[in-house]
């Protein structure tokens, strides 16, 4: 499935994301919010945003695999964090985790700080949209 990165020169050069991704064909998969829940619904690694991000990405990857897709099929990705300062302080480690799942590919992304999540121990949640070539 062809994907064309849209990064107008009139905007700030993207770093760690793309401004837009134009796709054609394929099936759309809307990814529900995934936090750091394990198979029993318990938040892993309380207090550790990096480990929780990894679990959230593992959960997303499982949904994609079940649908016949891969992480690089994600075209839009939103990260919600409870503490932006904590996220920023651990950006290098979070980036390493991100690259383990996405490689050098970056979807169109947004980061939002929120006051809390359904599970009080959650520090991060992600959601997105994937387009899977069938």
Assign 3-class secondary structure to 15-70. CCCECEEEECCCEEEEEEEECCECCCCCECCCCCHHHHHHHHHHHHHHHHHHCCCC
123: buried, middle or exposed (CB in 10 Å: 19+, 13-18, 0-12)?
buried
Average pLDDT per consecutive 10 residues, the chain (134 residues; last block may be shorter): 85 88 89 96 97 98 95 96 98 97 95 97 98 86
Backbone angles phi, psi at 65, to 5 degrees: -60, -40
- pLDDT value, residue 1: 63
pLDDT at 63: 96
- Domain extents for the chain? 16-132
- The pLDDT value recorded for residue 10 is 92
CATH 3.30.1330.40 is held by the domain 16-132 = yes
| Residues ≥6 apart with Cβ < 8 Å to 6 | 18, 19, 20, 21, 22
């Amino acid at each position: 499935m062809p994907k064309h990165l849209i990064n107008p020169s009139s905007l700030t050069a993207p770093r760690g994301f793309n401004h837009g991704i134009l796709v054609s064909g394929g099936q759309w998969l809307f990814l529900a919010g995934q936090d750091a829940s394990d198979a029993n619904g318990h938040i892993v690694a309380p207090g550790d945003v990096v480990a929780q991000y990894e679990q959230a990405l593992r959960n997303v990857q499982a949904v994609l695999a079940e649908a016949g897709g891969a992480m690089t099929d994600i075209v839009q990705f939103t990260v919600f964090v409870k503490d932006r300062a904590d996220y920023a302080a651990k950006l290098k480690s979070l980036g390493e985790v991100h690259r383990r799942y996405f490689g050098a590919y970056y979807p169109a992304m947004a980061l939002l700080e929120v006051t809390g999540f359904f599970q009080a121990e959650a520090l991060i949640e992600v959601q997105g949209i994937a387009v899977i070539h069938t």
